């Protein structure tokens, strides 16, 4: 089969005083994702989408959260590793589409930087990486600014 679709999701609790890193971009804000790595939920969801499309398990399988090697790890470097893993299995990214659920701050000013960062790690162009942002309508964990949630889909083709 020449084309494969993948889906990935991630959720992180937001806590005071932690840097907010999304899509490899540090966003000035008073709260950030609690997590073993840098908690970059955009990259984590995208990694799971990519691995899912290739049926190569999931992020926890490749980067166990009990492994001290990934304490404070830059998620972008993990994305790069996954990209090379896919390449070695003969897969190439066609496109990815990502939805970030976050009440605040507004992400519009940071979207193109995220596209750039993710495209670099995946050796593609920013036009292949769509990123959209939605609020939580002030209800639920996202709306009450207690969590960031991300959903990603991607398409792979045989290289």
Residue 44 found at the interface with Mg ion (CB under 5 A): yes
User: In sequence order, what are the residues at sequence separation of 6 or more whose Cβ sits closer than 8 angstroms to the Cβ of residue 147?
Assistant: 11, 12, 13, 14, 141
User: In sequence order, what are the residues at sequence separation of 6 or more whose Cβ sits closer than 8 angstroms to the Cβ of residue 83?
Assistant: 50, 93, 121, 122, 123
Binding span for Mg ion by CB under 5 A among 2-10, 84-92, 99-107, 126-134: 2-10
Binding span for Mg ion by CB under 5 A among 7-15, 80-88, 104-112, 118-126: 7-15
Residue 10 found at the interface with Mg ion (CB under 5 A): yes
Choose between 72 and 109: whose C-beta lies nearer to Mg ion: 72
Choose between 11 and 94: whose C-beta lies nearer to Mg ion: 11
The pair phi, psi for residue 25, each rounded to 5°, is -110, 130
Choose between 65 and 137: whose C-beta lies nearer to Mg ion: 65
């Amino acid at each position: 089969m020449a084309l494969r679709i993948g889906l990935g999701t991630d959720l992180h609790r937001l806590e005071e005083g932690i840097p907010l890193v999304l899509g490899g971009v540090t966003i000035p804000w008073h709260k950030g994702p609690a997590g073993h790595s840098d908690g970059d939920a955009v990259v984590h969801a995208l990694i799971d989408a990519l691995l899912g499309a290739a049926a190569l398990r999931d992020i926890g399988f490749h980067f166990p959260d009990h492994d001290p090697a990934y304490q404070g790890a830059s998620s972008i470097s993990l994305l790069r590793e996954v990209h090379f893993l896919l390449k070695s299995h003969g897969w190439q990214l066609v496109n990815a589409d990502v939805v970030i659920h976050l009440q605040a701050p507004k992400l519009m000013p940071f979207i193109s930087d995220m596209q750039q960062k993710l495209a670099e790690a995946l050796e593609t162009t920013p036009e292949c990486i769509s990123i959209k942002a939605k609020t939580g309508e002030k209800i639920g964990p996202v709306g009450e600014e207690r969590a960031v949630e991300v959903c990603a889909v991607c398409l792979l083709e045989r290289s």
